[in-house]
Chains A and B, each alone.
Chain A
């Protein structure tokens, strides 16, 4: 019966669509060094602000060499996009599981512990919840930026830590409620009555029942991280940073938004391409999350 439901996924067009999109992005991010035509950092001032290849009637003619054109420093947009995919997926695949882990732990503790512990932690999550999350993230990123030495990885690292510190709250609340419901159910009561230790109850009776919640939450939050990175990049505090005049840049979609902001009028493509990528990714993950949600709900019934 269970297998049947998963088999039905193969007949679902939306699942196919989202799987293909996700797999394409993952493949691109793995194969980037082999398919990117240029070094994304390489500047060539002679070739700055080139239009994409299909623009042939205006004065800077698109060149065969730069398929999607170049930015104001003469860096190839296509290569930047491909390397940016890597950054985005790396961020998503590290930040979201970390925050899911924190959220799960806190949710389990608050749901299972006695009322005082629950009240204290819930008070704290209420505080975090009543701050605008993007602002909280920006402040955390700025703090970590002062603490860490500026190497290429620290922009990514700050974003991962910042996101993990901000977004666990929603998962913790979700899990707390479902643990509270599970706790009053018969199989947990039976386990308590035969003297099973709380640790074993959590790992063997409650954890399996909240794993699907966590999975759906992770899938729904992957596009959120990618979007947040883009927004921070647009504002100018993404994984880009200037140190003593020299620029430490990790190529990312946020960085593309930042450099595209000044090119809004003569080359809007620099903004449109990463926007469309974000749209595709968030749509496919959302459809996937919807589908998984439906399956797990059916399984519960």
Chain B
């Protein structure tokens, strides 16, 4: 118990250090981009948003968002906190205050991402939508990929198994961007099933984006499951179990599945990360109201706090997944725990 606690503590400390590094690097990089947030709107957009382009207004805006400070002060302002225009102290990113978004008229970034429009639950916020989409997709990944993998491993050489594996290879090589575009063309332009602006409260409309997001991870997952299962089937203890005359289902449940778990959990962790990256593309293709949708716009218009906020959320999600997978692997597979205690690499 004590070792697990210490393990978690060091992991979390390391994750926090990495988060600080991520903040610093992304901050420096996005401030190295040529231009400023005010120039990147076209003149019509400026008129629509009521931004006047004379220098005094721009100076005022710069001052309001703290862009007139030296770079290191801007970083401490973002990360630790600063005095606002009224002279009151406010707390920065370490308190969870991600700063005012420039393109959202100064609404704070954590509000934009996490808070739903009034009267709705958390699940209706941008983050909630994305999480629901990822969960839906991962249900598809596990629910379809696991049975397919197990099935094609237990019956190798059959025609069906070979067709499955060819289909899986084809699926692994379709990037979600290409698949999403083709799905739009087929379902929106030709069959007219997908509406241009669908009602996202209707779960039917979620099916196509979820499948697009899940296709490649699902195929990869099935392949990994099959490979690790075939590896296990050749081990001595499975032969021993067969020799003892155990029933196939019992061998499957007691000897095969527990030994498969560690590689599968590691792979699922990676899959989650890939899906979060995929969100940035798929949500833009389908105008899905998640947190990845405004991302490209934020980058192209240099909405500094928005980019930083999204990156921080993304990075902390990845670090959390990493810690969780490592922890779960140690939990389900005693061999990993043992090798660590003995000090092997």
- Taking beta carbons and an 8 Å cutoff, which residues of A are in contact with B? 123-124, 126-127, 129-136, 138-140, 142-143, 145-147, 180-181, 184, 223, 227, 230-231, 234-237, 257, 264-265, 268, 271-272, 275, 278-279, 282-283, 286-287, 290
Contacts and interface: CB of A to CB of B under 8 A. Distances in A.
A142 B33 contact: yes
Given A143-B33, A235-B296, A264-B189, A131 B26 contact: yes
Nearest to A133: B277
Interface of B: 14, 17-18, 21-22, 25-26, 29-30, 32-35, 169-170, 172-175, 177-178, 181-182, 184-185, 188-190, 276-277, 280-281, 284, 295-296, 299-300, 311, 314-315, 318-319, 345
A230 B285 CA distance: 13
Nearest to A183: B345
Q: Determine chain B's interface SS by DSSP, over half rule.
A: helix
Contacts of A142: 33-34, 299
Q: Determine chain A's interface SS by DSSP, over half rule.
A: helix
Contacts of A257: 181
Contact of B319 (A130, A227, A237, A272): A130
A230 B33 CA distance: 22
5 contacts: A139-B33, A140-B29, A143-B33, A235-B296, A275-B182
Contacts of A235: 284, 296, 300
A6 to B, nearest CB: 22
A282 B175 contact: yes
Contact of B22 (A130, A279, A286): A130
Q: Which 7 A-B pairs have the closest CB atoms?
A: A146-B34, A283-B173, A268-B185, A130-B315, A127-B21, A282-B173, A286-B173
Contacts of B30: 139
B214 to A, nearest CB: 18
Contact of A264 (B14, B169, B184, B281): B184
Contacts of A223: 173, 175
Contacts of B277: 132-134
Given A126-B18, A130-B319, A265-B189, A135 B32 contact: no
A123 to B, nearest CB: 7
A135 B311 contact: yes
Given A139-B299, A278-B178, A283 B18 contact: no
Given A223-B173, A237-B300, A123 B280 contact: no
B177 A231 contact: yes
B4 to A, nearest CB: 22
Given A223-B175, A268-B190, A282-B175, 13 more contacts: A126-B18, A129-B318, A131-B25, A132-B276, A132-B277, A134-B281, A142-B33, A146-B35, A227-B175, A231-B281, A268-B185, A275-B181, A282-B173
